[in-house]
C-alpha cells in the first residue's frame, strides 16, 4: 500500500465509523482489499448476529479504500451506490473478513464486488459498490 494512502486512511479513520466499528485493514491494493470487523455490541443487531447495515458499511469501506489507492494525487472518491445480499448470519463473537475486488476501473467510476466471510469461511454477505472519481477542489 502506498505510504501516503496509508497515512490518509489512518487520518480519515480517527473518530470515524470505521474506527468505532473496529475495522482493521489486513491488505490493500488498487485491485484487492481485505478488511476485518468484529461482531460485537457495536455491530450486531437485537438477535445477536451481525447487523446488515454494518455489513454494508464494511463493504463500502473496502471499496473506498481500494478506490482511494487507485486514484491519482489530485483525485478523490465518493461512494454513489452500495447494494448487498445477506445470505448467512455471523454470530456474536465472530470476526468477519471482507474481500473486495475491482471489476471496473474507469477514469470516473470504479465498481467493486465485496464478499464478507465468517471465520469458518461461509459467505455472510455479498455486495456491489460503485464509487465516483472526482477531481479535488
Tens-digit pLDDT profile for residues 100-112: 999 999 999 999 9
Please report the pLDDT score of residue 3 as a whole number.
60
Question: Residue 63: pLDDT band by 50, 70, 90 thresholds?
Answer: very high
Domains of the chain in sequence order: 3-135 (3.10.129.10)
Residue 67 contacts residue 134 (beta carbons within 8 Å): no
What strands, in cross-sheet order, belong to the sheet with 95-105?
A: 24-28, 32-38, 95-105, 109-117, 123-135, 75-86
Whole-number Cα distances in Å, 80 to 38, 93, 95, 112: 26, 31, 27, 12
Please give the model's pTM, rounded to 2 decimal places. Answer: 0.91
Please report the pLDDT score of residue 13 as a whole number.
73
Average pLDDT over residues 113-123: 98
Chain mean position to CA 52 = 13
In 3-state terms, what secondary structure has residue 96?
strand
Please report the pLDDT score of residue 99 as a whole number.
98
The tens digit of pLDDT for each residue in 4-43 reads 655 566 567 778 899 999 999 998 999 999 999 999 999 9
User: Catalytic site residues?
Assistant: 60
Distance in angstroms (rounded) separating the CA atoms of residues 50 and 125: 10
Question: What is the DSSP code (8-state) at residue 8?
Answer: H
Percent of the chain exceeding pLDDT 90 equals 80
Distance in angstroms (rounded) separating the CA atoms of residues 129 and 59: 7
- pLDDT for 128 beyond 60: yes
Distance in angstroms (rounded) separating the CA atoms of residues 10 and 124: 27
Instruction: Report the Cα–Cα distance between both ends of the chain, in Å, rounded.
Output: 24
The cell for 33 is: 482489499
Amino acid at each position: 500500500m502506498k505510504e501516503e494512502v496509508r497515512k490518509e486512511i489512518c487520518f480519515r479513520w480517527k473518530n470515524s465509523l470505521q474506527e468505532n466499528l473496529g475495522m482493521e485493514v489486513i491488505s490493500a491494493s488498487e485491485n484487492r482489499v481485505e478488511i476485518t470487523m468484529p461482531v460485537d455490541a457495536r455491530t450486531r443487531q437485537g438477535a445477536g448476529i451481525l447487523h446488515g447495515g454494518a455489513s454494508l458499511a464494511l463493504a463500502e469501506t473496502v471499496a473506498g479504500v481500494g478506490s482511494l489507492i487507485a486514484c491519482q494525487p489530485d483525485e478523490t472518491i465518493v461512494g454513489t451506490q452500495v447494494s448487498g445480499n445477506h445470505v448467512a448470519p455471523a454470530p456474536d463473537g465472530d470476526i468477519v473478513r471482507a474481500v473486495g475486488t475491482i471489476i471496473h476501473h474507469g477514469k470516473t467510476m470504479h465498481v467493486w464486488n465485496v464478499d464478507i466471510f465468517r471465520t469458518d469461511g461461509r459467505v455472510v454477505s455479498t455486495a456491489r459498490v460503485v464509487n465516483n472519481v472526482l477531481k479535488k477542489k
